Structure 1
Amino acid sequence: MSIKLNRRNFALGTAGLALGAMLPGRAFAQETRSVTTIYGTYDIPVSPKRVVAIDSRLDLQPALALGLPVVGYGHSTPGSWVPVPAGLEFYGSEINIEQVLASDPDLIICADYDPDSVWWPANRLRDIAPVVTTSNDKPWKDAFRELAILLGREGEGEAAFAEYDALIADIKARHGEKLASRTVVSVQPAEGVFYMMNGSKMLQPQVLVDLGARTIPPAEGQDYDAGETPAEAFGDTLGQVDGIILATTSPEGAALLDGEPMWQRLPAVAAGALVASNGNINYGSIYSAIKVAQMVDELYGKMA
């Protein structure tokens, strides 16, 4: 990558021109690096000062782990395990473009979903500041590593990986026999049904693979959840499972199936071999991967 010194240019676009007075009007020399993404080849700051991370799962987590000075994020509330600094702006689930503009970012990280959507509106954000991408179509470690390389923060990236790898190694050392002999899987409970979260692009299965854990593999071509499982099929689906990772967004979510007799009859449920996330673990990056690994560690601790 070439590195050169130039001056930040802020292309505001139609909406931005109407709101230009909201900005502090900073114009300063910045060292830049040339990068190539799905949006072409362009310059980004070597040391950005104000970073917006659009998706709290896919963008905010790696941005924080790489030591970027994040000023705000969108999509959803991060899990309690994500070390979010105090005072960050929240731009909404449907991204408030004017609010992002007022934050005066010099770099924006935005997951590479539909760039014309209201949730990841990269095409509009590119009128505010350079946009670099993350991707949920790749394993989380690949997406994290690519972002670290793109930003020239390989050292910070390797340090984050070292923390995760050390945790995985520790869990393997302490639960080796259970990893090989007990079957665990993640499910998301709902009213009278559940969804098995074992698709190849979901976070929990990636962590289970790293641990070498026994689990229920996805069907051929299954990227995301396995679809709705009704109460009458609970036994057929989870009857041979020893432990269950509950993908919930609140403590109430963990109790959604408590009144279902077929749920209570499952061996894992009867044995109390359950752990609940109380936050989104279906998708994410380094911090949620660590959280899933910690949940698996706790789950094996509940098995005799």
Structure 2
Amino acid sequence: MRITLSTSALPTSALSARARSIGAVVVGAALVAVALTGCSTSDQTAAAGGSTRSIETLYGSVDVPTSPKRIVAIGFTEATTLADLGIKPVGRTNYIPSLDAYDTFFKDIPVVEDANANPDLEKIASLKPDLIVGSEFADKADKAAFAKLSAIAPTAIFEWKPAAANWENEAAGTAEAVGRTADLDKLKADYAAKAAEIKASYQDYLSTHTVDALSGDVDNWYLDGPTSAPGRVLGDAGARLGAGAGQKDGYVQYSPEQYGILADTDLIFVSADTTDDATPVTSNAVFATTKAAKAGQVVQSAHFYSGSYQMANALLADFSKALAAHAG
């Protein structure tokens, strides 16, 4: 049995879609099925075994093993949360955020997707998981597809929101599913302490200057708002958004001619792995007229779309470094 997803509605921007389309494709593909080809899974169904406990998920109450041993993560938020907790899944989604610690951690873990980034249920079943974790948009919940996953192993699916807006809730759900809530609480406290330190250290600058976060390519760019993952992380560290402050959506798409809305922003973060990757944004003539560009206060970060506390801490580190360089 394989779940197949049409990708015709995906954004065309690789940079901006990198994490945003993951929610619709890599994370959600196992649940947003447009075609199912069948095969027998009766001999592949993983029995949870031992004691179970009930947790709340997007699909209601689900009984999961008290101490799962063989976990498959079909979402990057769930996979990276497991990594933060020191738990190696037996199978994972192909997309994992770029972080040295994750590159090493996930290197030898089988990917449970085909060449088209569609989760392969045969591969998942062959790993004999006792728990499957992932996420999905609430309005695209597919009970039939969920049932196919649940026939393999108890499946905990948590709500995904655009721009990884509720990554902390997904992390909490994953930790609860594997019985490690107390350990996640320690990671959360460490993150909060780091954010508070930055906020206190640069209080004067942050109270008088604005920050915006965006990603883009030559065709479009995307401005993050306060509910997006970068908006929330930067906000926890005291950032006041400029042009993105009033956005209700996690991100809003604009054309290159509209970079002027960033005219008065003091510090701009661009989602990019390298300076060259940021060039489609930074080389734009309109972007060059912004206050931040003129003052050389444009920085890039490869850690925008936090799906875990390690990623959030990495963005905090980028923010702290930028403030040290530009807030003087």
Shorter-chain TM band:
0.7 to 0.9
TM-score by length of 2: 0.74
Note the alpha carbon deviations across 1:209-232, whole angstroms, 9 max, x for none.
212211134546x3221221332x
Give yes or no for contact 1:189–1:253 (8 Å, CA) kept in 2.
no
The aligned residue for residue 154 of structure 1 is 181
Partner of 1:292: 315
Give the unaligned 5+ runs of structure 2: 1-37
Give the structure, 1 or 2, with the largest relative contact order (CA under 8 Å, sep 6 or more).
Answer: 2
Instruction: Give the corresponding residue for 1:91.
Output: 112
Higher helix share: 2
- Separation in structure 1 between the aligned mates of residue 233 and residue 47 of structure 2, nearest angstrom: 44
Quote the offset at 1:130 in angstroms: 0.7
Shift of 1:193: 4.0
Partner amino acid, structure 2, of 1:88: I
Corresponding residue to 1:180 among 187, 197, 207: 207
Tell me by how many angstroms 1:206 deviates: 0.9
SS at match of 2:239: coil
Matched residue pairs, number? 279
Instruction: Return the alpha-carbon distance in structure 2 between the equivalents of residues 299 and 123 of structure 1.
Output: 47
TM-score (norm 1): 0.80
SS for the counterpart of 1:60 is: helix
**Match status 1:140 vs 2:164:** no
Q: Secondary structure at the match of 1:15?
A: coil
Aligned match of 2:279 in 255, 270, 277? 255
Q: Are the equivalent residues in 1 in contact too, given 2:46–2:130 (CA < 8 A)?
A: no
Deviation string 1:213-264 (CA, Å, 9 cap, x unpaired) is 11134546x3221221332x322x1111111111236654211134322222
**Partners of 1:123 and 1:28 in 2: how far apart?**
16
Tell whether the 8 Å contact from 1:180 to 1:214 is kept in structure 2 after alignment. yes
| Contact kept in structure 2, 1:116 and 1:124, CA below 8 Å | no
**Does the residue aligned with 1:134 lie in a helix, a strand or coil?**
strand
Structure index of larger Rg:
1
- Aligned-partner residue type, residue 73 of structure 2: A
Aligned partner of 2:70 among 39, 50, 54: 50
Tell me the amino acid that sits aligned with residue 296 of structure 1.
F
Q: Distance in 2 between matches of 1:35 and 1:26?
A: 19
Alpha-carbon spacing, 1:38–1:187, altered in 2? closer, same or farther (3 Å): closer
SS of structure 1 residue aligned to 2:281: coil
Which residue number corresponds to residue 269 of structure 2? 245
1:204 to 227, 230, 255: 230
Mapped partners of 1:26, 1:111: distance in 2: 20
The amino acid of 1:259's aligned partner reads S
| C-alpha displacement of 1:67 | 3.4
SS of the aligned residue for 2:168 comes to helix
> 2:89: which partner in 1?
70
The residue type equivalent to 1:298 in the other structure is K
Q: Which amino acid aligns with 2:125?
A: L
2:124 matched residue in structure 1: 100
Q: Which secondary structure does the structure 1 equivalent of 2:68 belong to?
A: coil
Shift of 1:16: 4.2
Of the three residues 30, 55, 58, the one matched with 2:50 is: 30
